[in-house]
Amino acid sequence: AQSVSQHNHHVILSEAASLELGCNYSYGGTVNLFWYVQYPGQHLQLLLKYFSGDPLVKGIKGFEAEFIKSKFSFNLRKPSVQWSDTAEYFCAVNPDSNYQLIWGAGTKLIIKP
Amino acid sequence: DADVTQTPRNRITKTGKRIMLECSQTKGHDRMYWYRQDPGLGLRLIYYSFDVKDINKGEISDGYSVSRQAQAKFSLSLESAIPNQTALYFCAASTGPDEQFFGPGTRLTVL
């Protein structure tokens, strides 16, 4: 069965540290890839997405992600985090346009001021 | 205007009661979804609908039913609520397989 793995369930960083959150998926075909963010007490919103083209995708708030097909990975990065990045981050994969999204379990990110 | 709205935002009910959660979207998205979120378990799909006549079970549909009354409306029912259905419920909508837009969530407590 298709699955999405987010390696870290909890990450704690200091402000200005660099961030990388891992995401791996198990589907071998063409995929659409998403990162969503959920700020405390809020609903999920899209950070960035990859459908095709340049595998380095830039999103909102300085986030980027790199699609590495050979590694089945779509890791999220930010060079310098801020306290306001404290949130839960979800990776999601759509293995087929006629299928629903497969979600990772999420990574809770806490940024210490 | 919010793209996706949910009512109620909070609900406390008792075991055995029938509950309906409602979802509306204003942007003409064809696809709609119901998820539940539990701490440490991420998002789990309950039901999804790719158009008004297409309803599909998700990962955890037991104990739930849905109705797509119109393209813009997708309601979730708990026929006989039980305590382990206490959770945060999100509705979402998308156009095709593109970005899903989420509602603000309904916090349901079943006593």
**Residue-wise pLDDT tens digits, B17-75:** 999 999 999 999 999 999 999 987 888 999 999 999 999 999 899 999 999 999 999 99
The residues, ordered by sequence, that sit 6+ positions from A64 with a Cβ below 8 Å of its Cβ are A48, A56, A57, A58, A76, A77, A78
CB-nearest partner of A105 from B42, B50, B100:
B42
Peptide bond into B104 cis (omega under 30): no
- pLDDT > 90 in chain A, percent: 80
What per-residue confidence (pLDDT) applies to B2?
A: 62
Residues 49-68 (A) with a CB less than 8 A from some CB of B: 49
What per-residue confidence (pLDDT) applies to B40?
A: 77
- Interchain contact A70–B (C-beta under 8 A): no
What per-residue confidence (pLDDT) applies to B36?
A: 95
Residue A91 distance to chain B (closest CA, Å): 10
| Contact yes or no for A90 and B105 at CB 8 A | no
What values do phi and psi take at A72, rounded to 5? Answer: 50, 45
- Interchain contact A101–B (C-beta under 8 A): yes
**Residue-wise pLDDT tens digits, A78-106:** 999 999 999 999 999 988 766 778 899 99
Q: Number of residue pairs across A and B with CB atoms under 8 Å?
A: 45
CB crowding B10-35: b at 16 or more within 10 Å, else e: ebebeeeeebebbbbbeeebebbbbb
Going by C-alpha positions, the residue among A107, A68, A77 that lies closest to residue A90 is A107
What per-residue confidence (pLDDT) applies to A96?
A: 77
**Residue-wise pLDDT tens digits, B66-107:** 999 999 999 999 999 999 999 999 999 999 888 999 999 999
| Contact yes or no for A100 and B104 at CB 8 A | no
CA dist., res. B40 & res. B58, Å (int): 19
Neighbours of A11 (CB within 10 A): 17
Reported in sequence order, the residue ranges of B1-111 that DSSP labels E, i.e. its strands, are: 4-7, 10-13, 19-25, 31-38, 42-51, 54-57, 64-70, 73-78, 87-94, 100-102, 106-110
DSSP string, A21-32: E--EE---S--E
Residue B50 distance to chain A (closest CA, Å): 9
